[in-house]
Amino acid sequence: MRTVLSTITTRKRLAACSVFLATVLLTMSGFQANRPGRAETPIQVFSISASPSEAIAHAALRPETLHSDAGQIHTIVMSNGEPFYAPQSLVIEVGEVVKWVNVEHSDTHSIHARTGQLDSPDVKAGSEWCFRFAREGEYTYTCRFHPWMRGTILVKPRNVEATPVALSPEVASAAYNLESAGGAVWLIAQKGSPLLVQVAADGVVTRHRLPARLQAGTNLCFTADQRFSFIDGATGKLSEFDLTRGSARTRTMSPAGSKLRLLAASKLGELWLFDAASGSFLSCPAASEQLTQPRAVKISSPPIKTLIDQAGKLWFIEESRKCAGFFDPRSGQFKEYLLPEMACLVALDVTPAGQAWFADAGRNKIIKIADGWVTEYTVPTAYSAPQGLTTDEQGNVWFTESLTNKIGRLKDGHFDEYRLPDSLSHPMALGRDARGNLLFTLQMSTGLGRIAAATVGALLASDQDQNDSPCSTAIDQAGSQEHRHDHDH
């Protein structure tokens, strides 16, 4: 039985990771169909939809509706007379608190469920006990002393309002890559003629026709407002594109025999690249046409997703998706963190304080790397396959649950999960714009969803209320593990 169960588990996990890998393969196959000679194509820049009014409407509606029922404490009265637990059955939302009050004069009662962590100490006459339900599900419970006492609590997921962002069919069917940069969220659509789509914080969508296909898995590296660098998918050369002019040019000479990948741009416009042929990092200083001398490192597999933090460290996820790490160009320090075999790292973000956060779709975990320590947090909903991740200024880590259609939030080791509307299910990549709107792509590139900043603010406000509840001592916490990795190079 154990073998069968573990096989199922493995299959499900593999399925979770393959969702992402399928996307990668799709992406790569799209890139193989190179289109040389597109540099002369004139660009068209135009606006598709403007929806600032929509954001304002949300701001007016959401806080009120959410506050009325969030942070609520439900009371169940325990007594020796039927129904013993009153009300006997209760429907609540994830995150809400239930308080059991023993109104008897002498008898002790308790609350004990076979599943979950619902297991109270003895609740003496005249006292009470609280529990915050962090996971959805049906909890049937009884009393240790009086097995005829029965109660049920149905915990439903919390819903969050999200709206589709209007994209033209041409874009919607091809948008597979999402990045946050310069306060906006960008989509790279390369099915048919390649397009770069900018979704500004005010909701205005602008499409830029690209003169060339970008290299598979490329990062958008903005070196100035309206100017970004990329690796030309056809020639493999480092190029620069000017959005306002719609023109591209080759920036530097690539070293002979190199296989360059563009990794990231620093705040000062310096570009970092990786040469997969020689296994070395190299850079291109701002406004320079020269690449620096390659600096070879002993890396397990080439970096594919990268980010530069405030301190200038280059964080990355490796192609194997089992390894994360950083390279510090100034000190030359290089460090890899090897994760267990089932890991499948798919997204990363780094906070201003230098904490690196990763989504592990293979193991259903959110991972923090800070000060040499790796901390793993298991997402409460099983097999959720987190695919996208972004952090905010308040220390919240937001992530998508692609298989369970939720947006999750992790803060101070505590999870909250919110179910998306069915029309915007299977969220994948996640980004955040300058106003705090959360944007996510949908699986198989069927569209883009937005959770308005006002909605996000209301969720945070309602969770604040809960923390003030008298029951905050009895909390169903999600487990986290911390372990040190000494994998220095």
* Least distance to Cu ion, CB of residue 67, Å: 35
Residues 339-398 that bind Cu ion (CB under 5 A): none
* Least distance to Cu ion, CB of residue 417, Å: 32
**DSSP assigned state of 457:** H
Task: Please state, as a whole number, how many other Cβ atoms lie within 10 Å of the Cβ of residue 191.
Answer: 16
Helix/strand/coil for 473: coil
Angle at 210 between CA 207 and CA 213, to 5 degrees: 130
143 binding Cu ion? (CB under 5 A):
yes
Q: What angle separates helix 52-69 from helix 453-467, to the nearest 10 degrees?
A: 20
Alpha helices, H only, 125-238: 169-172
Q: Given the rule CB under 5 A, which of 16-24, 101-109, 359-367, 460-468 is the region that contacts Cu ion?
A: 101-109
In terms of CB distance, is 108 or 480 closer to Cu ion?
A: 108
Residues 148-167 that bind Cu ion (CB under 5 A): 149
* Least distance to Cu ion, CB of residue 131, Å: 16
* Least distance to Cu ion, CB of residue 310, Å: 56
Q: Given the rule CB under 5 A, which of 52-60, 146-154, 231-239, 333-341 is the region that contacts Cu ion?
A: 146-154
111 binding Cu ion? (CB under 5 A):
no
Q: Given the rule CB under 5 A, which of 52-60, 98-106, 136-144, 241-249 is the region that contacts Cu ion?
A: 136-144
- The Cα–Cα gap between 327 and 312 comes to 9
414 binding Cu ion? (CB under 5 A):
no
Rg from Cα positions in the chain:
25
| Residue found by looking up tokens 């690209």 in the block | 210
Of the candidates 396, 336, 341, 393, which has an alpha carbon nearest to the alpha carbon of residue 366?
396
In terms of CB distance, is 97 or 143 closer to Cu ion?
A: 143
Of the candidates 354, 346, 413, 353, which has an alpha carbon nearest to the alpha carbon of residue 379?
413
- The Cα–Cα gap between 123 and 98 comes to 14
* Least distance to Cu ion, CB of residue 123, Å: 9
Distance, first Cα to last Cα, the chain: 43
In terms of CB distance, is 153 or 389 closer to Cu ion?
A: 153
Choose which of 12, 146, 237, 435 interacts with Cu ion (CB under 5 A): 146
Helix/strand/coil for 363: coil
In terms of CB distance, is 102 or 445 closer to Cu ion?
A: 102
Choose which of 58, 62, 109, 365 interacts with Cu ion (CB under 5 A): 109
Q: Given the rule CB under 5 A, which of 5-13, 54-62, 130-138, 145-153 is the region that contacts Cu ion?
A: 145-153
Choose which of 145, 192, 333, 413 interacts with Cu ion (CB under 5 A): 145
Task: Provide the token pair at 45.
Answer: 């820049």
User: How many residues bind Cu ion, per CB under 5 A?
Assistant: 5
Residue type, 66: L
Residues engaged in binding Cu ion (CB under 5 A) = 109, 143, 145-146, 149
